């Protein structure tokens, strides 16, 4: 019988994880995937599909519990675990779960920046209603040529827009929604670091450079590069990334958070500026897992579990010599290397819209 089941987006999220027994995912070849249940893929970024996706997850969770009443679930995102299991009255079936209010607080880009601005460097920002975001007014007020406009939630670049003189007439904002406005820092280096937060300790994992591309006026996450981070980020910035991450980790630990989380920052003008916290596993987690697996170390999922149940993390220093890139057959792509691992061979290609397919490749070469 399956005792711990992963609930996430892709089966490849546990490809290098022997800790979990099975998975409920949208994309994969196992019998519990949306792909196998309905014999098709689905655009998971299209809000019109959300009710169908919720129905699928609910159905598969209930089926799994019916087959094994003692089963426990570990979620890729704790936000989604609350959305689903609160409705079903099955929160007791989830392991590794932080307080809901804490997760929502950390996930809110506005609130977490306001909380952390006294502790780590953060770019100046202002909040505007959509109806008040006018490029000419912003330029006059702040004297910048380009702005980053963000919604309070979102991942992978969803809800993050570049506003400038070339596109301001084509971008429409929700009039009543609140947005965060910051200057766009040209030639910055976006970085990410995973943390493992236990009861008494915090472990920092290797740093990656995030591959961010401008697509249809949005800043879209396209992959990670652990190899390039060793060459393109000087030692003083590496020291700051780790120093600020540890400081943030301790503050979040004091609030009661446990388990894996990611911190996004940018290196700009010899400083490291905090951007957001991801209180969940990340797209780059599978790349870390591949390195952990090949060096006979526990997976992130197992380490995540240990953080919650006061078990030793027991993680020695390790290296990550990989990068990854998300390909989209519907758009031009900026990388053309020979992949050592193509995740769509495991997950199948993910249809995101008519005529367009997403798939991830892992490389043993730097991309950035």
Residue 190, beta-bridge partner list = 266
Domain match, 158 and 194 both: no
Domain match, 86 and 200 both: no
Domain match, 230 and 247 both: yes
> What pLDDT sits at residue 342?
87
Residue-wise pLDDT for 285-314, tens only, equals: 999 999 999 999 999 999 999 999 988 887
Banded pLDDT at 51 (limits 50, 70, 90): confident
Residue-wise pLDDT for 330-341, tens only, equals: 777 888 899 899
Query: How many domains in the chain?
Result: 3
pLDDT at 351 over 90: no
Domain match, 198 and 338 both: yes
**At which of 183, 214, 230 does a domain end?**
183
* Domain range enclosing 23: 4-97
pLDDT at 180 over 70: yes
Domain match, 179 and 292 both: no
Q: Is 142 helix (H, G, I), strand (E, B) or coil?
A: helix
Q: 137-141, 179-183, 185-189, 351-355: lowest mean pLDDT where?
A: 351-355
- Express the helix, strand and coil content of the chain in percent, nearest 5 each: 35, 30, 40
Whole-number Å distance between alpha carbons of 95 and 118: 33
**At which of 97, 116, 146 does a domain end?**
97
Domain match, 230 and 336 both: yes
Residue-wise pLDDT for 212-234, tens only, equals: 998 888 899 999 999 999 999 99
- Mean predicted confidence (pLDDT) in 123-152: 93
Domain match, 296 and 319 both: yes
| 165-169 LR contacts (CB < 8 Å, sep 24+) | 165/135, 165/139, 167/217, 168/134, 168/135, 168/136
- Mean predicted confidence (pLDDT) in 32-48: 77
- Mean predicted confidence (pLDDT) in 270-281: 97
Domain match, 143 and 199 both: no
In a domain, 237, yes or no: yes
- Mean predicted confidence (pLDDT) in 8-19: 91
Domain match, 153 and 230 both: no
> What pLDDT sits at residue 40?
72
**Is the CB of residue 217 less than 8 Å from the CB of residue 162?**
yes
**Within 10 A of 332 (CB to CB), how many other CB atoms are there?**
6
Residue-wise pLDDT for 115-124, tens only, equals: 999 999 999 9
Banded pLDDT at 135 (limits 50, 70, 90): very high
In a domain, 120, yes or no: no
Proportion of the chain above pLDDT 90, given as a percent? 67
pLDDT at 343 over 90: no
> What pLDDT sits at residue 156?
54
Q: pTM score, two decimals?
A: 0.93
Domain match, 256 and 353 both: yes
pLDDT at 344 over 90: no
In a domain, 106, yes or no: no
> What pLDDT sits at residue 1?
42
In a domain, 107, yes or no: no
In a domain, 76, yes or no: yes
> What pLDDT sits at residue 155?
58
Q: Is 52 helix (H, G, I), strand (E, B) or coil?
A: helix
- Mean predicted confidence (pLDDT) in 26-50: 79
**At which of 156, 183, 210 does a domain end?**
183
Banded pLDDT at 358 (limits 50, 70, 90): confident
- H or E, element range at 139: helix 135-142
In a domain, 318, yes or no: yes
**Mean pLDDT in the chain?**
90
In this structure, are strands 146-150 and 356-363 parallel, antiparallel, or unpaired?
Answer: unpaired
């Amino acid at each position: 019988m399956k005792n711990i089941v992963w609930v996430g987006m892709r089966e490849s999220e546990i490809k290098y994880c022997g800790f979990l027994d099975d998975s409920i995912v949208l994309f994969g070849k196992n019998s519990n995937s949306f792909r196998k249940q309905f014999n098709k893929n689905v655009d998971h970024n299209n809000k019109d599909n959300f009710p169908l996706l919720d129905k699928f997850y609910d159905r598969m969770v209930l089926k799994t519990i019916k087959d094994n009443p003692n089963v426990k679930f570990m979620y890729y995102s704790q936000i989604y675990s609350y959305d689903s299991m609160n409705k079903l009255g099955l929160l007791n079936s989830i392991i590794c779960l932080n307080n809901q209010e804490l997760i929502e607080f950390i996930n809110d880009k506005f609130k977490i920046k306001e909380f952390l601005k006294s502790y780590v460097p953060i770019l100046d920002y202002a909040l505007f209603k959509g109806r008040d975001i006018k490029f000419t007014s912003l330029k006059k007020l702040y004297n910048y040529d380009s702005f980053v406009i963000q919604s309070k939630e979102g991942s992978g670049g969803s809800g993050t827009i570049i506003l400038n003189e070339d596109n301001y007439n084509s971008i429409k904002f929700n009039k009543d929604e609140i947005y965060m406005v910051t200057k766009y820092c040209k030639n910055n280096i976006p970085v990410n670091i995973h943390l493992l937060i236990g009861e008494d300790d915090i472990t920092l994992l290797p740093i990656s450079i995030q591959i961010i591309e401008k697509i249809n006026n949005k800043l879209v996450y396209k992959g990670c590069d652990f190899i390039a981070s060793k060459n393109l980020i000087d030692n003083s910035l590496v020291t700051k990334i780790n120093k600020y991450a540890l400081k943030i980790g301790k503050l979040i630990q004091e609030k009661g958070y446990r388990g894996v989380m990611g911190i996004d920052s940018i290196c700009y003008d010899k400083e490291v500026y905090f951007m957001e916290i991801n209180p969940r596993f990340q797209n780059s987690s599978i790349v870390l897992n591949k390195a952990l697996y090949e060096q006979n170390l526990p997976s992130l999922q197992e380490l995540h579990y240990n953080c919650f149940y006061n078990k030793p993390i027991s993680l020695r220093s390790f290296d990550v010599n990989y990068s990854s890139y998300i390909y989209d057959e519907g758009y031009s792509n900026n990388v053309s290397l020979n992949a050592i691992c193509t995740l769509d061979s495991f997950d199948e290609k993910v249809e995101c819209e008519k005529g367009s397919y997403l798939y991830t490749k892992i490389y043993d070469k730097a991309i950035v």
